[in-house]
């Protein structure tokens, strides 16, 4: 995690760095800092906590200069503090470094450097980097960075400035994202596109082990052997406005409301009004007998729904795995398996590692991702973009629903290739898919009702979610949404599992939220709801099965759609519920504690 940014050009650097960091704060917000070249000397400003703190420091003691690097931190090694904040410098302050990633061999390097007389001020892994560059410096900053990088194990995107060569920024990446922005009056580095979007839409997407030297007038890219690399300029398609709140109080609320458009954008060009599916670019070999769907967090929850869709329609066995577990679980990958990774950011470290592992083992890798040009997008064999637009709020909403759309299309595509389901059935589903945006728009109108419910439950200590079949997966996602932004303890259970332990948690007044979208199994769920009611639970039903609602204390109506598609509309009011509970409690919706949007560490 962490976000890095750098600017070199004709304009004052500090303001540009701060506005870049503002867009990157979703990557971490434990502390922030910048280093600026002032009269050929490096000046550093840092502050613990949000960027606002650093702004105050800079208001009191401004930094001038046209070259600088900045960092917003998600703490890994060392507590959030000024001392551990980036930029980190070498002993005499002539080299400053910002870093996103983890240096796994930092202890050994620190040991080595200490023996050479270097002393350390922070608890971070990063601090070895400026010392190592200092150690290798013999008049050429780029070559010193190259030599230092050779010694680093782990992941890094690094930006370096040095007063010994005060006319450049040197940067490199390995397993952490980094892009270069080509501005009108200067050049940028950044962890992500939104950080530079108000300045330029022309970027270079760097690959691992590519080194960049930025000057005011140009950008030179070389590989680890110092060979020049020619790169095509990537034109960003979305606007800076897409990364703004546009009148909404929070990005999360804006992104919840953007879902109808995001769904339409994800369907566009892939599913025509005449129900023709255009996914011919996603090739699928007949030899594939099993698909591993691998992801983290919300994307994993999308994968659970995806498995059901693919198995039901395409009759292809799928296994859904958490990326962090899959990597070390000795999975049975062979020539008859394929891997589908799901990642909004396309940069999640564990998901990316699985992609690389699968490719190394010769498997075809499919990817569902939202970020064009991300590492996952560039390295997968086949990419399905969810055109949700930038998702800024840490809690994922529109990425999840568009991932579901991607899975539905993928499942129908495979079903058509394999001829596993009657075409009329698939056409009915396609037809419903084309109208899902309207269904979602309708649900968004129930905001007031949800807000009222949120006010009623905001004071709870524990809230449980129940569901059966696909509704269990919706319950898991709803529970994650609630706990990550409201800090209410919450768990999701398959409702039939309750009696095997969890029901012991139910006390008088415990809130239990049930999700029911499939009339065929609603009576089973209702029995489970009655069991918790009998033990004093306060029950709230998010239900499309309105014939039997007596068991609930309160009801939120869900629309009736094909049971396979139902998780998509069902999650919308539950996203709103989490949002309103969070605002009722006065917490920071878009930047919940301890979290970061893009998890680029394992
Ligand atoms: C939760 C959330 C996370 C992400 C997870 C994977 O609201 O956003 O659980 O889903 O960190 O991130 P991506 O999809 O970027 O790989």
Q: Residue 372 — very low, low, confident or very high, per pLDDT cuts 50/70/90?
A: confident
Q: Distance, CA 516 to ligand 1 centroid (Å)?
A: 25
Q: Which helix (H) or strand (E) holds 210?
A: strand 210-214
Query: Residue 430 and residue 436: Cα distance in Å, rounded?
Result: 10
- Considering the candidates 168, 308, 430, 597, report the single residue annotated as catalytic: 597
pLDDT given at position 338: 97
Residue 550 three-state SS = coil
Q: Residue 339 — very low, low, confident or very high, per pLDDT cuts 50/70/90?
A: very high
Percent of the residues in the chain that have a pLDDT greater than 70, as a whole number:
100
From residue 303, give the alpha-carbon distance in Å to each of 21, 250, 318, 411, 500. 32, 27, 10, 12, 26
CB neighbour class for 594 (10 Å; exposed up to 12, middle 13-18, buried from 19): exposed
Count CB neighbours of 276 within 10 A. 9
- 351 Cβ below 6 A of ligand 1: yes
Average pLDDT value for the chain: 94
Q: Ligand 1: which of 348, 377, 486 to mutate, judged by most atoms within 8 Å of the beta carbon?
A: 348
- Residue the block writes with tokens 């690389």: 356
- 296 Cβ below 6 A of ligand 1: yes
- Mean predicted confidence (pLDDT) in 9-33: 92
Q: Distance, CA 34 to ligand 1 centroid (Å)?
A: 28
Query: Given the CA of residue 400, which atom of ligand 1 is nearest to it?
Result: 10
pLDDT given at position 115: 97
Query: Residue 391 and residue 383: Cα distance in Å, rounded?
Result: 19
Q: Residue 25 — very low, low, confident or very high, per pLDDT cuts 50/70/90?
A: confident
DSSP one-letter code for 98: E
- 72 Cβ below 6 A of ligand 1: no
- 348 Cβ below 6 A of ligand 1: yes
Query: Residue 230 and residue 228: Cα distance in Å, rounded?
Result: 7
Helices (H), 285-422: 297-314, 323-326, 349-360, 375-379, 398-418
**Using CA positions, which residue lies closest to atom 7 of ligand 1?**
395
- 345 Cβ below 6 A of ligand 1: yes
499 is a catalytic site residue: no
CB neighbour class for 390 (10 Å; exposed up to 12, middle 13-18, buried from 19): buried
Percent of the residues in the chain that have a pLDDT greater than 90, as a whole number:
83
pLDDT given at position 550: 81
Q: Taking the model in full, what pTM does it have?
A: 0.82
Among 25-29, 83-87, 102-106, 245-249, where is mean pLDDT lowest? 25-29
Query: Residue 328 and residue 245: Cα distance in Å, rounded?
Result: 40
- Residue the block writes with tokens 């490719």: 359
- The domains located in the chain, with CATH, are 3-240 (3.60.20.10), 245-440 (3.40.50.10490), 447-585 (3.40.50.10490)
Q: Residue 23 — very low, low, confident or very high, per pLDDT cuts 50/70/90?
A: confident
Query: Are 125 and 102 contacting, i.e. CB atoms less than 8 angstroms apart?
Result: yes
Q: Which two tokens stand for residue 267?
A: 């369907």
430 is a catalytic site residue: no
pLDDT given at position 436: 97
Residues, the chain, total?
A: 602
In terms of phi and psi (left: phi > 0; alpha: psi -120 to 50; beta: otherwise), the region of 576 is alpha
Q: Distance, CA 323 to ligand 1 centroid (Å)?
A: 11
Q: Distance, CA 583 to ligand 1 centroid (Å)?
A: 21
From residue 180, give the alpha-carbon distance in Å to each of 62, 162, 531. 26, 19, 58
**Using CA positions, which residue lies closest to atom 10 of ligand 1?**
298
Query: Residue 458 and residue 271: Cα distance in Å, rounded?
Result: 41
Query: Residue 194 and residue 196: Cα distance in Å, rounded?
Result: 5
């Amino acid at each position: 995690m962490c976000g890095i940014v750098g600017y070199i050009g004709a304009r004052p650097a500090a303001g540009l760095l701060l506005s870049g960091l503002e867009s990157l704060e979703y990557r971490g917000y434990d502390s922030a800092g910048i280093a600026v070249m002032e009269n050929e000397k490096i000046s550093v400003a840092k502050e613990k906590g949000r960027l606002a703190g650093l702004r105050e420091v800079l208001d009191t003691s401004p930094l001038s200069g046209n070259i600088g690097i900045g960092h917003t931190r998600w703490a890994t090694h060392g507590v959030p503090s000024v001392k551990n904040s980036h930029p980190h410098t070498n002993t005499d302050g002539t080299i400053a470094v910002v870093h996103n990633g983890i240096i796994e061999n930092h202890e050994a390097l620190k040991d080595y450097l200490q023996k050479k007389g270097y002393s350390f001020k922070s608890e971070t892994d990063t601090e070895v980097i400026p010392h190592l560059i200092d150690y290798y410096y013999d008049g050429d900053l780029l070559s010193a960075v190259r030599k230092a990088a050779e010694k680093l194990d782990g992941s890094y995107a690094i930006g370096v400035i040095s007063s010994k060569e005060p006319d450049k920024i040197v940067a490199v990446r390995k397993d952490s994202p980094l892009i270069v922005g080509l501005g009108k009056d200067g050049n940028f580095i950044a962890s992500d596109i939104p950080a530079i979007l108000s300045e330029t839409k022309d970027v270079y997407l760097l690959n691992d082990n590519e080194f960049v030297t930025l000057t005011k007038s140009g950008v030179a890219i070389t590989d680890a052997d110092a060979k020049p690399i020619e790169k095509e300029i990537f034109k960003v398609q979305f606007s800076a406005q897409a990364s703004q709140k546009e009148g909404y109080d929070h990005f999360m609320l804006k992104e919840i409301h953007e879902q109808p458009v995001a769904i339409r954008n994800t369907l566009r060009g892939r599913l025509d009004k005449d129900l023709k599916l255009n996914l011919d670019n996603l090739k699928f070999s007949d030899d594939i007998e099993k698909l591993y769907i691998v992801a983290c967090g919300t994307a994993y929850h999308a994968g659970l729904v995806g498995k059901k869709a693919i198995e039901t329609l395409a009759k292809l066995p799928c296994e859904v795995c958490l990326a962090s577990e899959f990597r070390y679980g000795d999975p049975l990958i062979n020539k008859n398996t394929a891997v589908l990774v799901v990642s909004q950011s396309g940069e999640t470290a564990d998901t990316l590692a699985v992609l690389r592992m699968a490719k190394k083992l010769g498997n075809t890798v499919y990817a569902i991702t939202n970020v064009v040009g991300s590492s996952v997008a560039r390295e997968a064999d086949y990419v399905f973009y969810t055109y949700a637009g930038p998702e800024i709020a840490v809690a994922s909403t529109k990425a999840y629903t568009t991932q579901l759309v991607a899975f539905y299309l993928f499942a129908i595509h495979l079903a058509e290739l394999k001829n596993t389901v009657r075409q009329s059935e698939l056409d009915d589903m396609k037809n419903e898919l084309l109208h899902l945006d309207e269904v979602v728009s309708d649900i968004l109108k129930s905001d007031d009702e949800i807000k009222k419910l949120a006010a009623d439950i905001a004071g709870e200590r524990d809230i449980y979610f129940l569901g059966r079949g696909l509704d269990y997966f919706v319950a898991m996602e709803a529970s994650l949404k609630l706990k990550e932004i409201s800090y209410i303890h919450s768990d999701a259970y398959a409702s039939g599992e309750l009696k095997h332990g969890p029901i012991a948690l139910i006390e008088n007044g415990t809130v239990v939220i049930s999700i029911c979208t499939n009339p065929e199994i609603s009576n089973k769920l209702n029995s489970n709801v009655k069991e918790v009611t009998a033990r004093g639970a306060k029950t709230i039903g998010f239900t499309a099965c309105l014939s039997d609602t007596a068991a609930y204390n309160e009801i939120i109506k869900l629309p009736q759609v094909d049971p396979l598609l139902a998780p998509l509309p069902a999650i919308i009011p539950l996203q709103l519920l989490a949002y309103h509970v969070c605002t009722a409690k006065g917490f920071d919706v878009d930047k919940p504690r301890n979290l970061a949007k893009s998890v680029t560490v394992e």
